[in-house]
Amino acid sequence: MSVLMILSLIWKSGAEIYRDESDGRLSLKNAKLVPEEILKAADPIFGEIEKWFKSWEEAKVIDKHIRMMVHQACGWQHNPKLNEWICADVEALMLFMEWQETLAKNGWNDIYEDYRQFENEASNIMKKKLYERAVLYANHNK
């Protein structure tokens, strides 16, 4: 199984995988919720999971925001505020769909594959617009 498939199964089970600030290691909150077969499948690719988490540590806020949108759309991790915004801002929803279409044209056809390798100038412009709309919405609804 791929890294994102394993992570999605962990998240969908109700558990959370995160980097523990006290020792810098990945930790699993609510591990008892994760079926044993998922934990067994994660073990041989733990290094890849670690690498995926590290790849996001220095990411820009814009990139982390679009990742949250993808995870919300895939049903992996829920974000009520993001969901509220995307439901209220139809233009943002349409832009998000266009962003996904752009990535699909670039070869992204599997949600369990890291989309970042399929980004280009056009998708980056859309991503920036999405982030700006989210910030405006958040500031307007404080």
The C-alpha atoms of residue 69 and residue 60 are separated, in whole angstroms, by: 15
pLDDT at 83: 94
Q: What is the pLDDT of residues 6-60, one digit of tens each?
A: 999 999 999 999 999 899 999 999 999 999 999 999 999 999 999 999 999 999 9
Q: Structural domain boundaries of the chain?
A: 3-57, 61-140
Report which secondary-structure segment, H or E, holds 60. none
Q: Which residues of 59-86 are buried (b: 16+ CB within 10 A; e: fewer)?
A: eeebbebbbbbbbbbeebbeeeebeebb
CA angle 130, 136, 137 (to 5 degrees): 90
The C-alpha atoms of residue 113 and residue 9 are separated, in whole angstroms, by: 14
**3-state SS class at 18:** strand
User: E-assigned strands of 64-113?
Assistant: none
Q: What is the pLDDT of residues 73-93, one digit of tens each?
A: 999 999 999 999 999 999 999
Q: How far is CA 70 from the centre of its chain?
A: 5
Check: CB of residue 14 under 8 Å from CB of residue 56. no
